[in-house]
Structure 1
Amino acid sequence: MKKLILAFVFCVAAYYSTQAQNNIEKTNIGAIKTASVQTSDFTLGQNEFLLNGKPFLIRAGELHFPRIPRAYWDHRIKMLKAMGMNTVCIYLFWNLHEERMDSFDFSGQKDVAEFVRLIQANGMYCIVRPGPYACAEWDMGGLPWWLLKKKDVKVRSKDDPFFMERSGKYLKEVGKQLSSLQIQKGGSIIMVQVENEYGAFGKDGDYMEATRKNVLAAGFDRVQLMRCDWSSNFNNYQTAPSVAVTLNFGAGSDIDKQFELFKKLYPSAPLMCSEYWTGWFDNWGRPHETRSINSFIGSLKDMMERRISFSLYMAHGGTTFGQWGGANAPPYSPMVTSYDYDAPIDEQGRPTDKFFAVRDLLKNYLNPGEKIGVMPTALEVIEIPKITFIKSANLFENLPPAQKSKSIMPMEMFDQGWGRINYRTNLTASTVPRKLVITDVHDWASIFINGKLVGNIDRRRAENTVQIPPVSRDAVLDILVETTGRVNFGEAIIDRKGITQKVEIFEGDRSEELTEWSCYSFPVDYDFQSKMIFKNEHATGPAWHKANFKLSKTGDTYLDLSTWSKGMVWVNGHNIGRFWKIGPQQTMFVPGVWLKKGINEIIVLDLEVPIQSTMMGLKRPVVDKIVPDASLLVRKNGQKLDLSSVIPVLKGKFDDQKNWKDIMLKNITIGRYFCLEATTSQLDKDMTSAIAELQVMDAENHMISTQKWKVIYADSEEMTAANHAADRIYDNQESTFWQSQYIGGTVPHPHQVVIDLGAEYQIKGFRYLPRSDKNKSGMIKDYNIYISVSPFKM
C-alpha cells in the first residue's frame, strides 16, 4: 500500500512538473513573460484559414523591427492592435544578421526573437518572412553584400551552389532563434514565408522547392508555410501544395479582378492579400508619394465583405536608419531614409487619418471574442534650438591607409560593404581639355584634380562623363564615390559599388585607361567617424562636421537638414541615415531614446559644402519638398517630337480591361528607338495617358532586358501632384504608372513616349499593362507604334 501511495505521489509530481515546464515554454520564453496561449494549431481549410479548427480571418499589419528603435517595439505593436489588427507580419533581412560572412548577430536591435515574444505578449499572432530575399526597399533586398565578392555569383538561383549553401545556413540560424516560437510549440508564429515575390524575378520552381526544404530544415517543420506574388505572375512557377499561395496588390485595386485567375486555379484555397500597399516609398529627387484614404479603404472594405485575409504593407514604416536604404532599377532610383510610406501610423508612431479610417472599418469585422486594442500613450516630441557647427575635419586630410590596385575595382573587392570610397591616381600633362569617362559609377561621384572639384557624375541620370581642364605633369586625380543604396529588386540586384569596370581619359580620338590606383575606404560605422581630426574651422570641401548640444529633457525630434548638401548623420553614436538636399525628405527622424539629458553629440559627413553649418530639431517632418538640381521632366524646354515623316509600324486599339495586353507587329521590325503614341483614351472626357508597364519582345519571343533602357522623350509627365514620371513604364512595379499632366490643366492628345532600348533589336511585338487600380483615368484606347534605327526628329 505504501509503495502504491508513493507511486501515485511521483506520478502526480511528474504530471505537474511536465505541465509547469510546458507553461514555462509557453509563457516565459526569453527576457519577458508572454501572454498565455490557448491555441496550438493553424492550418489551411476549405476557403478559410483555420485556427484550432475554427475559421480565422487574418488582419495583419507589417512592422520592420530594424526600422523601429528597440525601446519603441512594444509601442508600435500596441498601435497595430489599437488599429484593429490581430497579427503582425515581419521581415528578416539576411544582411542585417550576417554583415560579415559566418558572423551572425541576433542581439540588441537585431533580437528578432524578443520582437516576436512581444507580439505574443500583446495577444497577437505573427507571420515571419525570413527570405533569404526580402526586397522591402532595403539594401540589396536583404541579401548580403559579401556575396558580390564572388565575381560570377547568381542570386535567387539553384544554379549557384555557393548562394544555396549560404542562404541555407542563414535560414538555419533564423530557425535557432524562432522555430521554438511556432504556434504548434506554444508560440505566436502562425505562418512562415518561403522567399518573396519570386514570380517577379524568375520561374524556377526547383529553386523555390529547394528554398522550401531549407526552411523546413531550419526547424519550421510544423508551421504553415506560404508564398506571395502578384496576380500577374503568381502562376510563373509551382510550389508544394502544402504552401499557401497569397497575392500582393495596392490601394484602390479591383479585388475581384485581382483574385479572378487565382480562384480558377485554387478554387478551395483561402484568399489573402499578403501585402496590401497602404502607400508607397519615396525616391531621392522625386515627389513625395501618397495614396488616398478613399481608394485605400474602399478596397479594404471589399476584402472584408469577401472574408479575404490581409496584411497592411506598411502599417507603420518607420525609418531606414544607417546604410540600409535600397534602390530600384531601371532606372536607378535610390530610396530616402524615411520609410513613412504614407502608412496609417506615421514615422514617429502617431496615428494618421488612415489609422482612424482602418479602425472604424475593422471594428465591424472582428473574429468572435476579439476586441480592438487600447491606444498606447503617445510619445513626446520636442524641438531643439539651433545647433551651430564650429568644428570640421577635411576628408582629404583624414585619409585612411591606402589599398593599392593596378586596375580599378568595386569597393566589395576591397572588403568594404557600404559608405564611400576614394580612387586616386596621377594624370599625364595636357594643354587641352579632356574627357574623363567612368564605366560605371555606382552611385554618385565627385571628381577632383589637385583637390579642386571639377564635376559630379550621377548614376540616376545615367551619366558617365565629365570634362577636365588642362593639367600640368603629375596632377592628382581623386574620384570620391558615395553609395546611395544597392538595387533591391529585379535583375539589377547584382549591384557592386564604387567604380565597377574602368576609368578612361579621352583626348580627341585617343583614349587611355587609367591604372595604378590608391584606394581609400570610408565605412559607415561610428567608430571610424569619431577618429577624425577635428579643427575649429569651416571646411571648404568634403568634410565631417561636429557639434554638441545640451538638452534638459528628451523626446523624438526631426533634424532639419535643409541647409546641408549630401551625406550621412550620426547622433550619440547612432547612424541616423542618409540625407540629400534634392529632397523630398528635408528632415531626419531622431528617436528620443537615442538622446540624453545633458550633452549630446552630432557628426555630419557632408560631401559638398553646407549653405549654413547649423541645424534645428523640429516637431514635424518635412518629407515633401523637392529642390531639384536639374529638371525632373524628360522633355526639354521647347522640344517637340516630329513624327510627320514617319510611318507607324502598327495602328491599334486597346480594350478597357485591366490586364496585360500582348500585341504582335505585322512584320518583324529592326530598331533601337520605340515610340508609343496614344491618340485617344478610354474616357472621352479624359485627356491623359497612363501606362503601368511596357515590355518589348524580340524575334525569339524573349522580352528585351530593360536594364539599358532610357526615356528620351515624353510629351507630358505629372510630377507635381505625384510621381508619375515616364520611366515608371519600365520600373517593374505594376502599381506605379506614367501619367501625363493633370494638375494645372490637362494636356491634349496625342501623347508620346520614346524609349532608347540601348541597342538595335529585331522587334516582334510588345506587352502593355494599364494602371491597375479601379480608376480608368488615362487608360489608352487608340494608339500608334513607331520604331526606328536612328533617333526620331525632335
Structure 2
Amino acid sequence: MGKLTIAKDQFLYDGKPMRILSGAIHYFRVVPEYWKDRLQKLKACGFNTVETYVPWNLHEPRPGEFCFDAGLDIEKFIRTAQELGLFVIVRPGPYICAEWEFGGLPAWLLKDPAMQLRCGYKPYLDAIDRYFDELIGRLVPLQSTNGGPIIAIQVENEYGSYGNDHEYLQYIEKGLKSRGVDVLLFTSDGACDSMLQGGTLPHIFKTVNFGSRALEQFEKLKEFQPEGPLMCMEYWNGWFDHWGEEHHSRDGQDVADVLDEMLSMGASVNFYMFHGGTNFGFMNGANCMGEYQPTVTSYDYDAPLSECGDPTEKFYAVQKVIKKYANVEDVPLDILPKMAYGTVELNECAKLFDSLDDIGKEFKRPAPVPMEMLDQNYGFILYRTFIAGPRDESPLILQDVRDRALVFVDDQFAGVIYRDDKEPSIYIKVPKEGIKLDILVENMGRTNYGPNMLDRKGITYGVRMGQQFIYNWTIYTLEMDNLHKLNFNKDKQIECPAFYRGEFEVAKPFDTFLKLSGWTKGVCYINGFNLGRYWNAGPQQTLYIPGPLLNKGKNELIIFELENVEKPIVELIDQPLL
C-alpha cells in the first residue's frame, strides 16, 4: 500500500519522489478484449500511469438502473492496468466533457423542465448522490491506500469553463470523501484567471490543461498555486473532428518538443489522448458556441496510438523524449492484423415508415415534445400529423428543432431542416383533401461543452405553417436498439429512410474498416452492435470494426440510411480513411 502526496514542488509516492507520466485511455471507447493491448503499449511508450474518465450516462442509462459489466467493467480495466504495473488516475465527473454525448451526463436529467446542471440544484445533486453511491464503492478498494493502483481522483471536470459555484464543488469533494476516497484529490482547468477562479478550491491540488506554451501556462498556474508540483492534466497532443470539417492532425515532433519543455521543467503530464478510440453508437458529443458542430464517430484524435491501436510516428517521437527522463524498457509491440474482407451486398430491405410499430413506441400529444419528455435518450424521433386543406403556400417552421429533420409530405421527401438554418427552406401548399406531414428528427449528439448544454432533442417548442401552430400529433420514439424486430424483404428499390441488411462470412476475425462509398447519412450495426454514424459530409469515410465484434463464420450487417444510396453495397478494407 502507498499514497501519492505532495512535498513542496514534487510528488512523493510512498515517501519517494515520483513524476507522473500518464496517458488517457477511455475504457468505454475501446472493446474490452483490447484493453490489455492498449495498456501494454502505453507502458511500452514510457508512461507509468493511465488516466480515464467515467461516463455517467453509460453506467446509469435509466434512473436507478446501473451497468458495470462487459465493456463497462471499470474495475476490470483498473485491475488490468495494475497487473501491468501502471498507476491509475480516475476522473469520475459527474461531468466529463470528453467530446462525449452530453459531456457524460445522462439524458434523462433533461426530463425535469426546471433542470439546472452543474450547480447546487437539489434534484441534480440527488441524482449525483445515487450515482456516486453505486460508483465510488467500486473505486475505493482499488485506491493505492488499499493496495490498488488508483493514486488520484478528480473533483468535477474543467468546472471553471462553465461556472463558479464553489459550494457545488465542495459538495462533490464531500461526496467523494464521505464514500471512502482518501487518495489525492485534484481539479483541472484552463490556465486563465476566470477558469482557475471558478473551477478550483483553495485546499484542492490544481492542475491545468493546454497544448502548447508550457512555460506561460505553468506561470499562470503558479499565481493560484505558488507551491506544489506542476502538472498538465490534459496535454492536447492532437484534436477531434467535427462533421463537415477537415481531419485534424499535429506534427509529432512539435508534440515531442512541447513535452520535452514540460519535462525539463520537472513537470508531470497526462497525454490527452494517448489512445482515443471510438464514439460507438450514439455517443458522440457536439460543440455549440454559436454554431452546432457534432463530433464524428472516430475519436482517433491523431493520438500516439491510432483508433485501431497502432503506434504512430508521434508514438515514437514521444517515446524518444520520455527516454531522456525515465527508464523505458524496450519491448516488442504487438501490431494487430487488419483484414480486407471485400464487398458485401445488402440485399434485404425494410422501409422505416413500414416499421414504426415494430421498433417504435407511439405517443399522442397535442404538440410536439422533445424526446426526453417521452423517456427517450438517443436515436431518432418521428412527428406525424394531418393538415386539413386547402391552404395557400406557407413556410414550414420547426421551432426549435434539434438537430436535423427530414420532412415528408404524403410520404414524399420534401427537404431537410437543420437547427442552424436562419431562413425557411421548405414551403408547403395544402390541397383541399389535406396532407400527411412526417418530420423525422435525428439527435446528432448533445452538446458536451460550454453554455448551451441544456440541449433537449427533437422539436422542443412547436411546428408552424406560417404563423399558425399545428396541433394533434402522433409521435414515435426510435432509440434504434431493437432492430431484431424488423421484417426485411428482398425489394432493392425501396425508398429511404430504410434499413438494409446483408450477411458475409469470415474465416478468422480481424480488425477491418467499413467503407460506405455511395451512401449518404445513417447508422451501421455489426452483429447487433451499433458501430456509430456515417455521413458523406466527411471527413470520416470509414467506420472501424474491431475484430472481437466479428463472428467466425456468418456476420450480419444492418445499415439505416436516411436519404439515398447509389447501390446497397459496402467494402470491408484494411485501413481507415479519416
Report the AA paired with residue 186 of structure 1. G
Taking the aligned partners of 2:272 and 2:200, their CA distance within structure 1 comes to 24
Taking the aligned partners of 2:247 and 2:10, their CA distance within structure 1 comes to 38
Alignment of 1:413 with 2:373, yes or no, is yes
Matching residue within 16, 26, 30 for 1:64:
26
Taking the aligned partners of 1:371 and 1:349, their CA distance within structure 2 comes to 20
Report the AA paired with residue 57 of structure 2. N
User: 1:173 deviation in Å?
Assistant: 1.4
Matching residue within 496, 502, 505 for 1:550:
505
Report the AA paired with residue 101 of structure 2. D
Alignment of 1:264 with 2:219, yes or no, is no
In structure 2, the CA distance between the partners of 1:264 and 1:415, relative to structure 1 (3 Å rule), is: closer
Taking the aligned partners of 2:505 and 2:423, their CA distance within structure 1 comes to 43
In structure 2, the CA distance between the partners of 1:134 and 1:375, relative to structure 1 (3 Å rule), is: farther
User: 1:291 deviation in Å?
Assistant: 1.5
In structure 2, the CA distance between the partners of 1:460 and 1:595, relative to structure 1 (3 Å rule), is: farther
Matching residue within 259, 275, 278 for 1:316:
275
The aligned runs of 1:500-579 (5 Å cut-off) are: 500-506=460-466, 511-525=467-481, 528-538=482-492, 539-579=494-534
SS of the equivalent of 2:114 reads coil
Q: Summarize deviations over 1:448-472 as a string: whole Å, max 9, x none.
A: 0000011101225456652224434
Partners of 1:320 and 1:577 within 8 A in 2:
yes
Q: 2:252 corresponds to which residue?
A: 293
Q: 2:97 corresponds to which residue?
A: 135
Q: 1:101 corresponds to which residue?
A: 63
Report the AA paired with residue 207 of structure 2. T
Taking the aligned partners of 2:30 and 2:199, their CA distance within structure 1 comes to 35
Partners of 1:390 and 1:547 within 8 A in 2:
yes
Partners of 1:179 and 1:219 within 8 A in 2:
yes
SS of the equivalent of 1:118 reads helix
Report the AA paired with residue 483 of structure 2. Q
User: 1:513 deviation in Å?
Assistant: 0.3
138-147 or 422-431, which deviates more: 422-431
Partners of 1:438 and 1:464 within 8 A in 2:
no
Taking the aligned partners of 1:425 and 1:380, their CA distance within structure 2 comes to 52
Taking the aligned partners of 1:372 and 1:92, their CA distance within structure 2 comes to 30
SS of the equivalent of 2:426 reads strand
Report the AA paired with residue 352 of structure 1. T
RMSD of the alignment, in Å? Answer: 1.3
Partners of 1:81 and 1:373 within 8 A in 2:
no
Taking the aligned partners of 2:143 and 2:134, their CA distance within structure 1 comes to 15
SS of the equivalent of 2:447 reads coil
Taking the aligned partners of 1:594 and 1:235, their CA distance within structure 2 comes to 43
Taking the aligned partners of 1:606 and 1:194, their CA distance within structure 2 comes to 41
Report the AA paired with residue 502 of structure 2. A
Taking the aligned partners of 1:93 and 1:212, their CA distance within structure 2 comes to 18
Partners of 1:79 and 1:375 within 8 A in 2:
no
Q: 1:81 corresponds to which residue?
A: 43
Taking the aligned partners of 1:90 and 1:272, their CA distance within structure 2 comes to 16
Taking the aligned partners of 1:299 and 1:228, their CA distance within structure 2 comes to 19
Taking the aligned partners of 1:289 and 1:166, their CA distance within structure 2 comes to 36
Taking the aligned partners of 1:471 and 1:616, their CA distance within structure 2 comes to 45
Report the AA paired with residue 83 of structure 1. C
User: TM-score, with normalisation over the residues of structure 2?
Assistant: 0.97
SS of the equivalent of 1:402 reads strand
Alignment of 1:246 with 2:210, yes or no, is no
SS of the equivalent of 2:40 reads helix
Report the AA paired with residue 235 of structure 2. Y
SS of the equivalent of 1:408 reads coil
Q: Summarize deviations over 1:484-518 as a string: whole Å, max 9, x none.
A: 10000111111100101010001xxxx21011000
Alignment of 1:483 with 2:443, yes or no, is yes
Taking the aligned partners of 1:460 and 1:223, their CA distance within structure 2 comes to 45
Taking the aligned partners of 2:175 and 2:71, their CA distance within structure 1 comes to 26
Q: 1:332 corresponds to which residue?
A: 292
User: 1:238 deviation in Å?
Assistant: 6.6
User: 1:151 deviation in Å?
Assistant: 0.1
Matching residue within 148, 158, 173 for 1:187:
148
The aligned runs of 1:440-519 (5 Å cut-off) are: 440-461=400-421, 465-506=425-466, 511-519=467-475
Taking the aligned partners of 2:179 and 2:354, their CA distance within structure 1 comes to 49
Partners of 2:390 and 2:434 within 8 A in 1:
no
Partners of 1:427 and 1:473 within 8 A in 2:
no
Report the AA paired with residue 236 of structure 1. Q
Partners of 1:78 and 1:373 within 8 A in 2:
no
Q: 2:538 corresponds to which residue?
A: 583
Alignment of 1:278 with 2:234, yes or no, is no
Report the AA paired with residue 13 of structure 2. L
The alignment-based identity, stated in percent, is 39
Report the AA paired with residue 190 of structure 1. I
Report the AA paired with residue 18 of structure 2. F
Q: 1:398 corresponds to which residue?
A: 355
Report the AA paired with residue 347 of structure 1. E
Matching residue within 375, 392, 399 for 1:432:
392
Taking the aligned partners of 1:192 and 1:394, their CA distance within structure 2 comes to 48
Taking the aligned partners of 1:372 and 1:576, their CA distance within structure 2 comes to 36
In structure 2, the CA distance between the partners of 1:374 and 1:218, relative to structure 1 (3 Å rule), is: farther
User: 1:235 deviation in Å?
Assistant: 2.5
In structure 2, the CA distance between the partners of 1:108 and 1:464, relative to structure 1 (3 Å rule), is: farther
Q: 1:378 corresponds to which residue?
A: 335
Q: Which runs of 5 or more structure 2 residues have no equivalent in the other structure?
A: none
User: 1:431 deviation in Å?
Assistant: 5.5
Taking the aligned partners of 2:491 and 2:141, their CA distance within structure 1 comes to 56
User: TM-score, with normalisation over the residues of structure 1?
Assistant: 0.71
Partners of 1:438 and 1:465 within 8 A in 2:
no
Taking the aligned partners of 2:538 and 2:330, their CA distance within structure 1 comes to 36
125-134 or 286-295, which deviates more: 286-295
Report the AA paired with residue 505 of structure 1. M
Taking the aligned partners of 1:238 and 1:428, their CA distance within structure 2 comes to 55
Taking the aligned partners of 1:415 and 1:613, their CA distance within structure 2 comes to 33
